[in-house]
């Protein structure tokens, strides 16, 4: 359930990717402007994650989730009725902001239950299912285009998915917030909690580090349709290529769930980050050569997305570990920093698209190196720490 809640967000982003060209033509969007359909949602969702955590710490996880789901459904329908590109971008931004609870609350719900490396294992299992949606979402979007011929029906499909998840949550999700952990809505206190969650040295490096590496991923998502369709001339194969990359990431998360409790989230994620840097360097070298083809781009991109499977869930679990009693506020604050930084960076990387894969490759390399520096700061220069036991 937590996986598919988070996957609603991914479906809202990735299902529309095959339709960006058609959508841009219909609504008169030029060049890279089509990327705003994705970028506006991501950035607004990051800002919106500041809001639900404090309310979820006071009133419980369930009511806040229902508000977010209702917003996702209503604004999906509104997007389907948009009459201009500017209107659609605005609605997408509002949708991302209002539905941010489906991003911010699942980690808090999980933290209500478990901690330590066991949380990292559970987050990895959730990401396996969560990432299968990006693997198939472009194919669903393209299928809708082929059958119905109208990109607006993709947004209708989003609304239907939101209704299905709402019914599941209503019937099966019990409240997970412990009664003794309920926090009053006192603005200065909430600000202190959120500030603590994003300034504690032991965790801030992991929050900023994941923002950077996922900023590179968002840059790929923003420019993927143009990169694969235009630079490599494989637009008809876009859903398959995207599915391969996302599928590799899902497989890596499953593998992470099998090893993280044995070796520890720190050891696994630190090794993965070093390998990510190496693969990104290879991407930059191949992209700088004339006539790069899909035969080098796709394997290397898939490899780095696989390595993200060993980084994302582990970094997030390490960052949230000390904040069990304020998990909602901490998840919101860290999600805000992660999503806004990553989305803004992804938008910059996407707009740097110049008809080649070089800007993306250089961005992946730079973000990974800086991410390593942040992790070194949090760990005081000592990497590959031991496994952490489950804690209450």
Number of domains the chain is built from: 1
Domain CATH code at residue 120: 1.20.1250.20
Q: What is the pLDDT of residue 258?
A: 81
Q: How many whole angstroms separate alpha carbon 151 and alpha carbon 211?
A: 31
What letter would DSSP give residue 33? G
Angstrom CA distances, 301 to 58, 88, 164, 288, stand at 42, 30, 33, 15
Low pLDDT (below 70) residues in the chain? 115-117, 130-131, 134-135, 386-392
Residue whose pair of structure tokens reads 């990109």 in the numeric block = 151
* Torsion-angle region of 174 (φ positive above 0: left; ψ -120 to 50: alpha; else: beta): beta
Tell me whether residue 384 is in a domain.
no
261 contacts 123 by C-beta, under 8 angstroms? no
Give just the sign of the alpha carbon dihedral 322, 325, 331, 337: negative
Q: Which pLDDT score is estimated for 369?
A: 94
Asked whether residue 387 is domain-assigned, the answer is no
| Separation between Cα atoms, residue 231 and residue 376, nearest integer Å | 37
Q: Is residue 221 part of a domain?
A: yes
The answer as to whether 218 is a domain residue is: yes
Q: What pLDDT is stored for residue 175 in this prediction?
A: 86
What pLDDT is recorded for position 261? 79
- Dist. CA 213–CA 129, nearest whole Å: 21
Distance, in Å, from the CA atom of 18 to the CA atom of 137, rounded to the nearest integer, reads 9
Residue 46 inside a domain? The answer is: yes
Asked whether the beta carbons of 75 and 88 are under 8 A apart, the reply is no
Write the pLDDT tens digit of every residue in 229-246.
777 777 777 778 878 887
Read off the DSSP letter of residue 233: S
H or E element, residue 30: none
The answer to the question of residue 386 being in a domain is no
Q: What range does the domain containing 24 cover? A: 2-173+185-378
- Does any domain span residue 363? yes
Which pLDDT does position 72 carry in this prediction?
Answer: 94
36 HSE (CA, 13 A, CB side): 17
Tell me, yes or no, whether 251 lies in a domain: yes
Backbone angles phi, psi at 293, to 5 degrees: -120, 170
Max Cα-Cα span within the chain: 62
pLDDT of the residue at 280: 94
Question: 356's torsion region: left (phi>0), alpha (psi -120 to 50) or beta?
Answer: beta
């Amino acid at each position: 359930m937590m996986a598919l809640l988070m996957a609603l967000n991914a479906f809202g982003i990735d299902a529309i990717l095959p339709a960006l060209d058609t959508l841009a033509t219909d609504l008169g969007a030029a060049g890279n402007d089509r990327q705003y359909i994705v970028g506006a949602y991501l950035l607004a969702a990051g800002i919106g994650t500041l809001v639900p955590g404090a309310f979820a710490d006071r009133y419980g996880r369930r009511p806040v989730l229902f508000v977010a789901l209702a917003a996702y459904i209503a604004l999906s329908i509104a997007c389907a009725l948009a009459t201009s590109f500017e209107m659609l971008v605005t609605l997408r931004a509002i949708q991302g902001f209002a539905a941010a609870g489906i991003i911010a609350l699942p980690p808090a719900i999980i933290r209500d239950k478990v901690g330590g490396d066991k949380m990292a294992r559970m987050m990895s299992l959730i990401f396996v299912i969560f990432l299968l949606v990006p693997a198939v979402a472009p194919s669903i979007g393209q299928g809708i285009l082929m059958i119905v011929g109208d990109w607006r029906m993709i947004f209708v499909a989003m609304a239907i998915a939101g209704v299905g998840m709402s019914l599941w949550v209503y019937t099966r999700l019990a409240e997970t917030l412990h009664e003794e952990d309920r926090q009053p809505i006192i603005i200065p206190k909430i600000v202190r909690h959120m500030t603590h969650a994003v300034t504690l040295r032991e965790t801030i490096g992991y929050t900023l580090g994941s923002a950077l590496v996922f900023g590179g991923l968002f840059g790929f998502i923003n420019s993927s349709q143009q990169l694969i369709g235009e630079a490599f001339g494989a637009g008809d194969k876009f859903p398959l290529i995207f599915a391969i990359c996302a599928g590799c990431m899902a497989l890596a998360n499953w593998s992470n769930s099998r090893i993280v409790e044995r070796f520890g989230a720190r050891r696994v994620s630190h090794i993965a980050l070093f390998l990510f840097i190496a693969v990104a360097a290879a991407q930059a070298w191949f992209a700088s050569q004339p006539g790069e083809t899909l035969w080098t781009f796709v394997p290397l991109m898939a490899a780095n997305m696989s390595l993200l499977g060993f980084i994302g869930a582990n970094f997030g679990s390490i960052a949230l570990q000390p904040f069990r009693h304020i998990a909602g506020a901490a998840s919101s604050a860290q999600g805000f920093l992660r999503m806004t930084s990553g989305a803004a960076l992804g938008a910059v990387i996407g707009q740097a698209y110049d008809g080649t894969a070089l800007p993306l490759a250089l961005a992946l390399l730079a973000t990974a190196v800086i991410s390593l520096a942040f992790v070194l700061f949090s760990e005081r220069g000592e990497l590959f720490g031991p496994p952490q036991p489950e804690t209450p």
